[in-house]
Structures are given as C-alpha cells and as structure tokens.
C-alpha cells in the first residue's frame, strides 16, 4: 500500500481522491485513456474503456505507459487481471492494417492471420473486401476505407490506417507575420496533427482552435474545406483567416444557405450540407467537388450523421477535427475515432487557464423552489412535459434579474432553450433577444454591438452555443438547456473564457428548479466541467437580494 491518489478496481473503474496532493498529476496521467463518469466533491470516478485504450494506442501510448500510470498512482495493488486486460485490449489495435499497395491500391494486411480469418467471416465486412492476395492480405476497394474501419472497430479489431493520403490541390497559405505567433500549445497541436496526418485536437473554448486550424492549413499548403456550425461562425472563420494568414478575400468562399462559393479555401455550414431535397442531400457533393488537401471539422462533436457517411468516403483526405469536448450525447465517439481520426492533442482547461490564455471562471448553481400551487401540477404532469415545466418556470425570471443586478455594467449573456421563457427575460432585462429566427445580418449587428460595448446584455437561444466569439462576455446565466447535455454546458461556459483585459474572473450561473428533472439534468451537464477541474457552488435563490427598479441596457 502506498499513498497514491488513485484506487484502481477490477471492474475498470478508477477512484481519484480530489484533495490529494498528487491528484492533478494523476488526472493528467490517466486522461489519455480513462473517461470521467462522476465528479462529486471529493472522489471522482473514471472508467477504462476499450475505445479509450485504442485512442491512446493510436496516439502513441503503449500498454507499458498505461500500466505504469495506474501502478505509480494507485494506493493499493492494481488487480493483476486488469493489467493483463489493458495490455491485451491495447494489443488488439494494429493487428489489422490498412496499407497502400502498388498494384491493388488499398489492402487490409494482418499481422495476426487468425484475426483476419475471423473478421472475413463477419457479416459486417461482407461486400467491403475484394480478392485474397495472400494468406495475410486482402484487397479493399478504396471507397470502403472508412466503412471498413467503422466495421472493424465494432468487431473489436480496430485497424491501423497506414494507407496515407493524397496530397490534394496545392495552394500557398502562410501565417501572417504581423507581430503574432501561435502559442506553444497551439503549435504543439498543429505538430501533433501534422505528424499523425488526421485526427482531433481538443482545446477549451477561447483557447484559439481557429488558429490551430489556420496553423494546420499553413503547414499543409493545400486547398481546404472548412465545415462549421452556422453562417455566423463561417464569417468569423473568414475574418480570422484574413487577419491571421496571407489568404485574400478572393481565395476564401462561403457555402451557406445564402451564398454558394467554391474557392481554394471554402467554408461551409453543416446545415447546408445536410439539407435534404426530394430525399437526397444535394450539397454533400461539395465535399468531393474539388481535390481538397485538407478538411477541417469545427465542433466535431456535433458532426451530423450524413456528414459522417460522406466522411467515410473521404479517408484519403487529411482530416482535422476541432472541439472543446469529445463528449457526444449520441454515443458516436467511436465514429469520430474511426472516420476523423484519433485524438492528436488534448489540453486540460485548467492548464490553459494557469498559463493565462483563458479566463478563470466561477461556476454557481442557483436553486429555485417551485411555488406550492405548481408542485401538484408538476407531479401529475406527463413525463415528457416535466422538463419544460421545471426548466421554463416563471419563478426563474426574478432570479435572473437579481443575478444580473449582482454584476452592473459587466457584459452579460442569458442563455436558454425555450423561446417564450427567453422572450419574458428579454423584456424583464430590457435586453435584445437572439434566436434561430433572428436574421443572420441582425445577429451579426447585435454581436458586433456587444463586442464594441454599445450594449452589455444579450439574451440568446442555443444558436449562441457554438463558435460565437464574444471575447468580453464575463457573466452568463443559463436558465434552461438541452436536457442533460454535457457538451452544451462546456460550450456555454466557453462563451466566457476569453481572457479579460483587466484580468477579472468570469461568472457562470445555472438557474435550476429544485426537486424536478431540471435539477437532475443540471447534475448530468456538470460532469464534463467537473472533470476539467471546475467546482460548482450551490446557493439558494432565496438568499439573493430582491431585484429593484427596472433594469435597462448599459
């Protein structure tokens, strides 16, 4: 028995004592291969999964490194069976390899012939495999490269893809030399991607994922297709590329609902790519319309299913996924791994904060009690109606007002899910409202006014969850969300994490209706942030000062 911060159990769960002096180092050691499950105050629970181990293996970690991380940090002897299982699971990665072949183009080669025989008999790979070339090698049609990797992952034999990439059309791109340079961690992320050829970079909101994308584009020097979440995001990408690279207006095209330009660097929205017409997706052909050298997936954790399917056909192109969290509420992390690539770089949020590149943040949950006269109606409501009855209850409105009055003059966002609730709060605060119905031009005007300090309050729906750059926002009040979405929680906090000119901390409030599913969802949403080291204080709404006077725009 040692004084380690970790308890490793035979069911592959890891218990981390948060208050231990070595907890931070232990968390960093297990992060490449273990996933957080629960994060209460004193002991966090992680779990070792096959996908986590294969992701670590693909990123260059071997079984010895993983075993050493467990043994060196464990308080008690690590179960021997678990160590054997870790080694055996990681050893499954790469026994099958996709390789380029001078005559047959693409082949599946087995280091272990028995594994090849096993997978060839699986229905999942039927139709993907061509002629048998020798005892350990079969031909694969290039168009099946992605689908085969998906199938092999599901069979428990993830293939190592060594088939390489086409170069794509060359196009000179350089970073602008105007007194700026990539931060050290951004350069490490670019180098990790360039070394691997394809994969995912995980960085906190506000840490400059767009600049990592620009760095990767400059490193490749190829035509690039950038896929983003919205038209507003597309225009922010364009503005940043014009400012940070040698690209000109004529070299960057926008492919959205209103504009259809295909240029050497084209920025397209997921919405237009997945729009259906007569049962088909007419714009998905954009992804193969040019000899792209690089495809960048912004907010890769949101990748829609049709884009996954098209990406399966683009395995010969270099692919870069950018995200603040690889958490997917639909459980499709395995498809990100097999189709975009393994995690190439991951920086803990608190590490970037310690370096001064993102703002410190204080997270507070404010619990509101439902009035007695509404409790019975809630209790008797149908299960599908209860989330809205709790999350959008009018008792939250004066609480939002009281929280806003705590921070006079500070740039403040109110973020929610339900439009009638947001309209009521907008009226109460005298603040502008941005929803999916707000025209893009008007959204940009309001965001620009907020950035310029002309207005200091905005009420926004989920359209502001992703890729919206509001660097001076320092207070956010979350009133409702997409059920228990951890990725949404991370993105909403991310709206606040740009460093503030005066060095002040950000404040992130979540207003929660006590004794309802709203409270349950809040607990689930907070898991990812807790893993990043953010603790939530809980206060009672009754302890807030009573709102005064009529609030107005600053």
Q: What does the pLDDT look like over 289-335, one tens digit per residue?
A: 789 999 999 988 777 777 777 787 788 889 999 988 776 666 677 88
Statement: 184-352 belongs to CATH 2.40.50.100: no
What lies within 8 Å, CB to CB, of 505 at 6+ separation is: 359, 360, 361, 362, 474
- Start-to-end CA distance of the chain, whole Å, equals 60
Determine the pLDDT at residue 550. Answer: 46
Fold designation for 359-543: Rossmann fold (3.40.50)
pLDDT higher than threshold 70 for residue 393:
yes
Q: How many whole angstroms separate alpha carbon 384 and alpha carbon 195?
A: 48
Which segments of 245-371 does DSSP mark as H helices, in order? 270-274, 305-311, 333-335, 349-354
Token duo for residue 345: 């770089």
Tokens 């009040």, located at residue? 477
Determine the pLDDT at residue 42. Answer: 82
Q: What does the pLDDT look like over 416-443, one tens digit per residue?
A: 989 999 999 999 999 999 998 898 889 8
- Tell me the domain boundaries of the chain: 6-92, 96-161, 184-352, 359-543
Q: What does the pLDDT look like over 451-505, one tens digit per residue?
A: 888 999 999 988 766 556 676 788 989 998 876 566 677 777 777 777 777 777 8
Determine the pLDDT at residue 469. Answer: 67
CA-based nearest residue to 136, from 115, 122, 166: 115
Element (H, E) at 486: helix 486-494
- The pLDDT-based confidence of 512 (bands split at 50, 70, 90) is very high
pTM value is 0.78
Mean pLDDT of 401-419: 92
- Of how many residues is the chain composed? 554
- The pLDDT-based confidence of 107 (bands split at 50, 70, 90) is very high
Determine the pLDDT at residue 554. Answer: 41
Q: How many whole angstroms separate alpha carbon 300 and alpha carbon 338?
A: 13
CA-based nearest residue to 11, from 42, 38, 49, 44: 49
Residue 205 or residue 93, greater confidence = 93
Mean pLDDT of 62-72: 96
Determine the pLDDT at residue 434. Answer: 92
- The pLDDT-based confidence of 40 (bands split at 50, 70, 90) is low
Mean pLDDT of 30-59: 85
Determine the pLDDT at residue 112. Answer: 93
Token duo for residue 72: 């060196």
Least confident range of 74-78, 176-180, 495-499: 495-499
The reply to whether 359-543 shares the fold of 184-352 is: yes
- The pLDDT-based confidence of 551 (bands split at 50, 70, 90) is very low
Q: What does the pLDDT look like over 332-354, one tens digit per residue?
A: 778 888 889 888 888 777 778 88
Q: What is the mean pLDDT of the chain?
A: 87
pLDDT higher than threshold 90 for residue 237:
yes
pLDDT higher than threshold 70 for residue 520:
yes
CA angle 510, 514, 519 (to 5 degrees): 55
**Phi, psi (5° rounding) for residue 50?**
-60, -45
Burial of 258 from C-beta contacts in 10 A (0-12 / 13-18 / 19+): exposed
Determine the pLDDT at residue 32. Answer: 85
Pairing of strands 105-110, 137-140: antiparallel
Determine the pLDDT at residue 397. Answer: 95
CA-based nearest residue to 164, from 342, 318, 323: 318
Neighbours of 171 (CB within 10 A): 19
pLDDT higher than threshold 90 for residue 220:
yes
């Amino acid at each position: 028995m040692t004084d380690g911060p970790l308890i490793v159990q035979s069911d592959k769960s890891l218990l981390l004592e948060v208050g231990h002096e070595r907890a931070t180092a232990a968390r960093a050691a297990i992060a490449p291969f273990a996933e957080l499950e629960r994060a209460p105050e004193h002991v966090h629970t992680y779990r070792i999964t096959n996908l986590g181990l294969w992701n670590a293996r693909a990123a260059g970690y071997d079984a010895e490194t993983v075993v050493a991380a467990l043994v060196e940090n464990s308080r008690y002897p690590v179960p021997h069976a678990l160590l054997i299982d870790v080694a055996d699971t990681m050893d499954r990665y790469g026994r099958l390899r996709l390789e380029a072949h001078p005559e047959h183009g693409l082949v599946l080669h087995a280091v272990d012939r028995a594994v090849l025989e096993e997978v060839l008999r699986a229905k999942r790979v039927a139709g993907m495999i061509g002629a048998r070339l020798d005892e350990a090698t079969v031909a694969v049609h290039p168009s099946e490269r992605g689908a085969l990797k998906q199938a092999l992952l599901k069979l428990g034999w993830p293939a190592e893809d060594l088939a390489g990439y086409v170069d794509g059309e060359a196009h000179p791109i350089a970073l602008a030399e105007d007194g700026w340079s990539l931060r050290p961690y951004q350069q490490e992320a670019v180098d990790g991607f360039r070394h691997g050829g394809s994969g995912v970079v995980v960085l906190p909101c506000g840490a400059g994922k767009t600049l990592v994308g620009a760095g990767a584009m400059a490193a490749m020097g190829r035509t690039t297709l950038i896929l983003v979440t919205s038209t507003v995001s597309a225009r922010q990408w364009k503005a940043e590329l014009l400012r940070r690279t040698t690209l000109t207006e004529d070299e960057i095209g926008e492919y959205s609902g209103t504009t259809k330009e295909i240029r050497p660097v084209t920025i397209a929205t997921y919405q237009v790519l997945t729009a259906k017409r007569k049962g088909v997706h007419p714009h998905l052909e954009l992804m193969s319309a040019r000899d792209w050298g690089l495809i960048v997936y912004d907010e890769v954790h949101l990748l829609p299913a049709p884009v996954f399917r098209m990406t399966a056909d683009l395995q010969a192109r270099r692919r870069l996924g950018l995200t603040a969290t690889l958490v997917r509420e639909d459980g499709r992390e395995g498809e990100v791994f097999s189709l975009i690539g393994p995690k190439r770089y991951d920086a803990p949020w608190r590490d970037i904060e310690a370096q001064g590149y993102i703002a410190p943040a204080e997270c507070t949950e404010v619990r509101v009690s439902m009035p007695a006269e509404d409790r019975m109606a809630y209790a008797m409501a149908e299960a599908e109606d209860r989330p809205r009855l709790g999350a959008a209850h009018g008792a939250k409105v004066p609480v939002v007002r009281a929280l806003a009055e705590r921070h006079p003059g500070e740039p403040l966002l109110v973020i929610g899910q339900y439009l009638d609730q947001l309209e009521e709060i907008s009226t109460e605060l005298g603040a502008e409202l941005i929803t999916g119905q707000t025209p893009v031009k008007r959204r940009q005007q309001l965001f620009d006014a907020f950035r310029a300090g002309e207005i200091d309050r905005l009420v926004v729906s989920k359209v502001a969850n992703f890729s919206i750059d509001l660097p001076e926002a320092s207070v956010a009040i979350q009133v409702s969300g997409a059920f228990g979405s951890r990725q949404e929680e991370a993105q909403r906090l991310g709206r606040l994490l740009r460093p503030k000119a005066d060095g002040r901390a950000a404040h992130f409030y979540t207003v929660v209706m006590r004794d309802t599913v709203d409270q349950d969802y809040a607990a689930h949403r907070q898991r990812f942030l807790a893993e990043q080291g953010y603790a939530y204080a809980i206060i009672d709404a009754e302890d807030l000062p009573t709102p005064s006077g009529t609030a107005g725009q600053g």
